[in-house]
Amino acid sequence: MAELDVKDKKIIHFLSLNARESDTRIAKEVELSRAAVNYRIKRLEKEGIIRKYISWINTFQLGYNNFHIYLKLRNFTLEKQNKIINIIKQNPNIKWLVTIGWPYDLFFVMSAKDLRDLDIKLKELYSNFEEDILGTKIFVVDSIIKDTPPFFPELIKNSKKHDIQPFDKETKLDKTDVEMLNFLSENARLNVVELAELLSKKNQSITPEAVSYRLKRMKRKGILKKYSADLDYRKLNFQWFMVIFKFNKVTEEFDKKIKSELHNRTRIHYIDKTMDHQIRFQILAKNLEEVNEELTFIRNLFEGYIEDYEVLPLFEQYILTTMPKAIYEDLLKESKE
């Protein structure tokens, strides 16, 4: 496990809240010099604790749905899994790809405009390893109930509920917007001067002030949701689990209970609800005893509501992006029409 002092933890916390926070502002909050903060951030990056900085782009607002797909392999071997991982990594529609524990083997998020589009894209992807698929499960997220920084509960003052933005058919991006989102999707800490320079290489002449205006406009429209650090949980000695609960009913009172009772459960850093009213929790814990403590709390809290549940450990992350290549190319094409 990486040795972190309280200053490191605070820096990670602030970057998880807002990856575009300036070194100067973070330095003031953690009571260090700007140079010291910059040095610590670079060390965290070099050690792989911070993998990159993500701009969370609401592609739903741009006409794309996210389909969450669990994949179980037939006659599992590590060689077979690695072969399929490499195939999925090359697919231009993938947002997230991780290895996952029993009863599944892989989990990925695929972007598609609708179910028909998803069917076409999945058939094309699965044609490369169809004989190796034993089973799949597909979820569509209806709403995000909780989304908070995953570490250091003593630093978390409050959490917010993030609902999926309604699809606005009037949302239209020009080429500059699209290029800007693409750059930010891979590095949310690019400042407005750096963004302007990168855009100039794409033949987009723009001032830093204009970049700032466009960023604020896309944030206001709900296209840019937040900026955060992508962290390697294992290097901080955390075990990562996804828990899927199947409930026999989901009422308004039930929703209120989830929001109020689980708001301050700091090990549970993410909760969403699927279109078929299943609830998924992401838990970060130091050991299985802590995981069991959270499961026991949830099962006791919702006694009488739960039909079944699955506890799935998450392992290696291979892809995390909010602007897959296919969406980028589609938006570029649309911006020229």
Torsion of CA 32, 35, 40, 44, to 10 degrees: 140
The total of structural domains in the chain comes to: 3
Burial 223-253 (b: 16+ CB within 10 A, else e): bbbbbbbbbeebebebbbbbbbbebeebeee
Please tell me whether residues 76 and 137 are part of one structural domain.
yes
| Residue ranges with strand state E in 232-287 | 239-247, 268-274, 278-285
Q: What is the CATH number of the domain that holds 141?
A: 3.30.70.3460
Please tell me whether residues 84 and 204 are part of one structural domain.
no
7 touches 40 (CB < 8 A): yes
Q: What is the CATH number of the domain that holds 10?
A: 1.10.10.10
**Tokens representing residue 74 in the block:** 């037939």
Please tell me whether residues 245 and 312 are part of one structural domain.
yes
Look at residue 103 and tell me if it is in a domain: yes
**Cα Rg, the chain, nearest whole Å:** 21
Please tell me whether residues 137 and 121 are part of one structural domain.
yes
Q: Rounded CA gap, 132 and 85, in Å?
A: 12
Look at residue 56 and tell me if it is in a domain: no
Look at residue 79 and tell me if it is in a domain: yes
- Residue in the structure block whose two tokens are 């799949």: 136
- Domain residues for the domain of 8 are 1-47
Expressed in angstroms, the distance from the first to the final Cα of the chain is: 51
Look at residue 305 and tell me if it is in a domain: yes
Please tell me whether residues 144 and 247 are part of one structural domain.
yes
Q: Rounded CA gap, 230 and 332, in Å?
A: 26
Look at residue 163 and tell me if it is in a domain: no
Look at residue 159 and tell me if it is in a domain: no
Please tell me whether residues 111 and 253 are part of one structural domain.
yes
| SS3 readout for 122-153 | HHHHHCCCHHHEEEEEEEEEEEEEEECCCCCH
Look at residue 154 and tell me if it is in a domain: no
CA angle (289 as vertex; 286, 292 as ends), nearest 5: 110
Look at residue 153 and tell me if it is in a domain: no
Please tell me whether residues 91 and 208 are part of one structural domain.
no
Q: Rounded CA gap, 290 and 6, in Å?
A: 22
Please tell me whether residues 257 and 245 are part of one structural domain.
yes
Q: Rounded CA gap, 136 and 107, in Å?
A: 10
Please tell me whether residues 187 and 115 are part of one structural domain.
no
Q: Rounded CA gap, 234 and 228, in Å?
A: 18
Please tell me whether residues 136 and 116 are part of one structural domain.
yes
Please tell me whether residues 33 and 178 are part of one structural domain.
no
**Tokens representing residue 26 in the block:** 């973070």
Check residue 160 and give its pLDDT.
Answer: 45
280, β-bridge pairs: 244, 272
Per-residue pLDDT of the chain (337 residues), as tens digits, is: 568 888 999 999 999 999 999 999 999 999 999 999 999 999 999 999 999 999 999 999 999 999 999 999 999 999 999 999 999 999 999 999 999 998 999 999 999 999 999 999 999 999 999 999 999 999 998 888 888 876 665 554 544 444 444 444 456 899 999 999 999 999 999 999 999 999 999 988 999 999 999 999 999 999 999 999 999 999 988 999 999 999 887 777 777 888 888 888 889 989 998 888 889 999 999 999 999 999 999 999 988 889 999 999 999 999 999 999 999 999 999 886 5
Please tell me whether residues 199 and 210 are part of one structural domain.
yes
